[in-house]
Amino acid sequence: MTALLLIDIQQGLQEMEFYGTERSNPNAEANCQKILNVFREKKWPIFHVQHCSTNPASPLHPSKAGNDFHPLVKPLENEPIIQKNVNSAFIGTDLETRLKSRDISNLVIVGLTTEHCISTSVRMAANLGFKVTLISDATAAFDKIGVDGKRLGADIIHNAALANLKDEFAQVTNTTTLLKELID
Amino acid sequence: MTALLLIDIQQGLQEMEFYGTERSNPNAEANCQKILNVFREKKWPIFHVQHCSTNPASPLHPSKAGNDFHPLVKPLENEPIIQKNVNSAFIGTDLETRLKSRDISNLVIVGLTTEHCISTSVRMAANLGFKVTLISDATAAFDKIGVDGKRLGADIIHNAALANLKDEFAQVTNTTTLLKELID
C-alpha cells in the first residue's frame, strides 16, 4: 500500500528572511495540494508531518503562528498528524511503526525543504526499507552559504539535493507525471 | 567523549566508472589517515564503518576485493568495525548503542561519499542527538546527473552537500584546523 507523506508544509516556512534569500519552486505548496486531493479522493493513507522546533526563535516553534499548516494542505480531522522536532520524520516519532502496522511499503513524499527535512526523511525512509517516490516540484529549497563563503542559489541547492536522492534513495518524478499515473 | 567515525573508506570507492566520471578531494583518504593517527595516539575511540553492499554488481559487495578497507586507514585489531548495508551507519547496526554505552556524545566524521553515506550518517547522527564535526577535505563526492539530465560536477555536489549539512546538522571544518585543535 502507498501512503502520502506531507512534510513541514507550514506557514512559518514562508518567512524567507529566516531561511535564506530566495526559494526554488514557488508552486510547491499548490502541487502538494493537487497530490493531496487525489489521495483524499482515493481514500489512500495520508500523514501530515509537522515540525515543532525546539528553537524559540524559529518560525516553526509551537508558540508561533508559523507552526500552523499551510492553508492549502490543512489536515482534515481524520488525517493523522505526526509531530517531530528534528529533521527526520522517523526520529522521535512513531511514524515507522504506524506505516508498518498498516502494511504501507511505498511512500510518496512531498514538502519542505528539499535540502533539509525532505532529504533527511527520504534518506531514512529508504534506508528503513520503504520504496520512496519524491516529487521534484512539490518540494522547494532555500539558497545557502557554502563553507567557502560563496552563495549557492536555491535552484542549485534544489537540483543537487534531488540528484543525490535520485536512484540511490528515491524515484524522482514530477506532479504532472505522478497525477497521470495515479488517475490512470 | 569524542569518537572518530570513518565511513566507507574502502578500496571499491576508487572504481570511478561505477560511481561517476570525476571525484572531488583526491586527498580525502590521506587526510582521513592523518586524523586517524591523532585519534590513535590519543587513544580516543575509533569506529570503522564498512559498507557491505547487497548489490552483487557493487565494488563494495563482500565478495569483491573492493569491500576491503583503503590501505591508508586499515583498522588495527582492537578497533571496532561496524558493518552496514544501507547508507546510514545507524540503521541495521548497533552503532548508536555502542556510542551511548561509552558515553560518547561528540563525533568527528570522515569518509565517503559526501553526498550519500556521509550526508545520510551525519544527518541521522545529529538527529539522534550527537554533536557532529564533519571534516570537509576528509570526504569526497562524485559528479551526478540531475533530474533535468544536466551533469552536476563533483565539486558542486560536494560543496552543496556540505552547505546543507553546515550549522543545521554539523560543524564543518577542515583537516588542518581540526588537527591544530586536537593537538593544542
B87-116 pLDDT, tens digit each: 999 999 999 999 999 999 999 999 999 999
Q: How far is residue B148's CA from residue B111's CA, in Å, rounded to a whole number?
A: 29
Q: Which of A88, A128, A147 sits opposite B162 (nearest CB)?
A: A147
Distance from CA of B158 to the nearest CA of A (A): 9
Q: How many Cβ contacts (< 8 angstroms) between chains A and B?
A: 104
Beta carbons within 8 Å of A132's beta carbon, 6+ residues apart: A106, A107, A109, A122, A125, A126, A169, A170, A171
- B146-155 long-range CB contacts below 8 Å, 24 or more apart? B146/A159, B146/A160, B146/A162, B146/A163, B147/A136, B147/A159, B147/A162, B147/A163, B147/A166, B147/A172, B148/A159, B150/A159, B151/B21, B152/A159, B152/A160, B152/A163, B153/B22, B154/B20, B154/B22, B154/B23, B154/B24, B155/B24
CB B170 within 8 A of CB B122: yes
Annotated domain spans of chain A: 2-183
| Residue B111 pLDDT | 98
Would you call B91 and A116 a contact, using CB atoms and an 8 Å cutoff? Answer: no
DSSP string, B63-98: TSGGGSBPGGGPPPTTS-EEEESSS-TTSSSSHHHH
Per residue in A48-73, pLDDT (tens digit) is: 999 999 999 999 999 999 999 999 99
β-strands A81-84, A46-51 pairing: parallel
Distance from CA of B12 to the nearest CA of A (A): 17
Cβ of A147: how many Cβ atoms within 10 Å?
A: 18
Contacts of A88 in chain B (CB under 8 A): 123-124, 127
Per residue in A1-34, pLDDT (tens digit) is: 999 999 999 999 999 889 999 999 999 999 999 9
Distance from CA of A45 to the nearest CA of B (A): 25
CB A129 within 8 A of CB A12: no
Q: What's the average model confidence in pLDDT over B134-146?
A: 98
Q: Does B84 touch chain A (CB under 8 A)?
A: no
Confidence category of residue A183, pLDDT binned at 50, 70, 90: confident
Per residue in A119-166, pLDDT (tens digit) is: 999 999 999 999 999 999 999 999 999 999 999 999 999 999 999 999
| Residue B50 pLDDT | 98
CB B26 within 8 A of CB B169: no
Q: What percent of chain B has pLDDT over 70?
A: 100
Would you call A159 and B136 a contact, using CB atoms and an 8 Å cutoff? Answer: no
Would you call B160 and A146 a contact, using CB atoms and an 8 Å cutoff? Answer: yes
Distance from CA of A43 to the nearest CA of B (A): 30
Would you call A116 and B164 a contact, using CB atoms and an 8 Å cutoff? Answer: yes
All cell numbers assigned to B103: 558515553
CB A99 within 8 A of CB A125: no
CB A113 within 8 A of CB A140: yes
CATH class name, domain A2-183: alpha beta
Q: What's the average model confidence in pLDDT over B168-177?
A: 98
Confidence category of residue B184, pLDDT binned at 50, 70, 90: confident
| Residue B183 pLDDT | 84
Helical H segments across chain A, by residue range: 16-19, 28-42, 95-101, 119-127, 154-165, 175-183
Would you call A152 and B144 a contact, using CB atoms and an 8 Å cutoff? Answer: no
Q: Does A171 touch chain B (CB under 8 A)?
A: no
| Residue B42 pLDDT | 96
Q: What percent of chain A has pLDDT over 90?
A: 97
Average per-residue pLDDT for chain B: 97
Confidence category of residue A167, pLDDT binned at 50, 70, 90: very high
Contacts of B115 in chain A (CB under 8 A): 160, 164
Checking if the pLDDT of B43 tops 90, the result is yes
Q: Is the interface score ipTM higher than 0.95?
A: yes
Q: How far is residue B49's CA from residue B111's CA, in Å, rounded to a whole number?
A: 9
Checking if the pLDDT of A184 tops 90, the result is no
Per residue in B53-68, pLDDT (tens digit) is: 999 999 999 999 999 9
